[in-house]
């Protein structure tokens, strides 16, 4: 029996999102028949251009980057009640180029409500997003301490601003 998906406002569950994000969430992208999910530990939700927006960051070296450049949409699935540490660790260290992460981690892709990209069925909180802006980081503008912390290898992120077109919790 599929669980009910209750629509909520994009900012109703920010506390849960922001508490879980540093521990990991799933960023999922589907481009044609290619499907991948990766672990993110950074991101933010806000209100820009009169729209609710989820900003995610993906390095150009990641398999997800190429999928996202084509798909121009993504989902973020947050495990609030279920412990998915093992799946998050796997999806954060293995590449979709080499592994079917859904199969390896026994994750269930469930159809999104609005976008073509699925959400992770084992999670409780879901954001569906359409890219409305993207920006490659400009290394010269990054604070030195952040460069040392996150970009020692020069592998900078692209920031994707996704308009949140659906947000819901599984009951």
pLDDT tens, 88-104? 999 999 999 999 999 99
Residue 25 has pLDDT above 50, yes or no: yes
Q: How far apart are the first and last CA of the chain?
A: 12
Q: Which two tokens stand for residue 118?
A: 């699925």
* CATH code 2.30.30.90 for 5-170: no
Domain range list for the chain: 5-170
- Give residue 128's pLDDT band: very low, low, confident or very high (50, 70, 90): very high
What is residue 84's predicted lDDT score, i.e. its pLDDT?
A: 95
Q: Percent of the chain beyond pLDDT 90?
A: 94
**Mean pLDDT for the stretch of residues 5-28:** 94
d(CA 101, CA 150): 25
pTM (2 decimals)? 0.95
pLDDT tens, 139-171? 999 999 999 999 999 999 999 999 999 999 987
Q: Write down the mean pLDDT value for the chain.
A: 95
What is residue 3's predicted lDDT score, i.e. its pLDDT?
A: 66
**Mean pLDDT for the stretch of residues 55-68:** 96
What is residue 2's predicted lDDT score, i.e. its pLDDT?
A: 55
What is residue 157's predicted lDDT score, i.e. its pLDDT?
A: 97
Is the Cβ–Cβ distance between 56 and 2 less than 8 Å?
no
Residue 79's Cβ-side half-sphere holds a number of Cα atoms within 13 Å equal to 20
Residue 133 has pLDDT above 60, yes or no: yes
d(CA 30, CA 170): 21
**Mean pLDDT for the stretch of residues 55-63:** 96
């Amino acid at each position: 029996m599929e669980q009910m998906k209750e629509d909520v406002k994009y900012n109703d569950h920010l506390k849960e999102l922001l508490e879980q994000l540093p521990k990991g969430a799933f960023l999922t992208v589907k481009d044609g028949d290619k499907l991948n999910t990766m672990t993110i530990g950074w991101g933010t939700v806000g209100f820009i251009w009169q729209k609710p927006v989820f900003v995610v960051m993906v390095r150009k070296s990641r398999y997800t980057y190429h999928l996202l450049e084509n798909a121009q949409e993504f989902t973020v699935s947050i495990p609030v009640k279920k412990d998915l540490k093992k799946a998050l660790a796997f999806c954060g260290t293995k590449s979709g180029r080499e592994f079917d992460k859904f199969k390896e981690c026994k994750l269930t892709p469930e159809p999104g409500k609005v976008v073509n990209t699925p959400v992770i069925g084992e999670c409780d909180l879901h954001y569906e997003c359409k890219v409305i802006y993207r920006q490659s980081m400009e290394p010269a503008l990054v604070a030195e301490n952040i460069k040392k912390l996150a970009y020692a290898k020069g592998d900078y992120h692209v920031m994707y601003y996704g308009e949140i077109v659906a947000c819901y919790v599984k009951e």
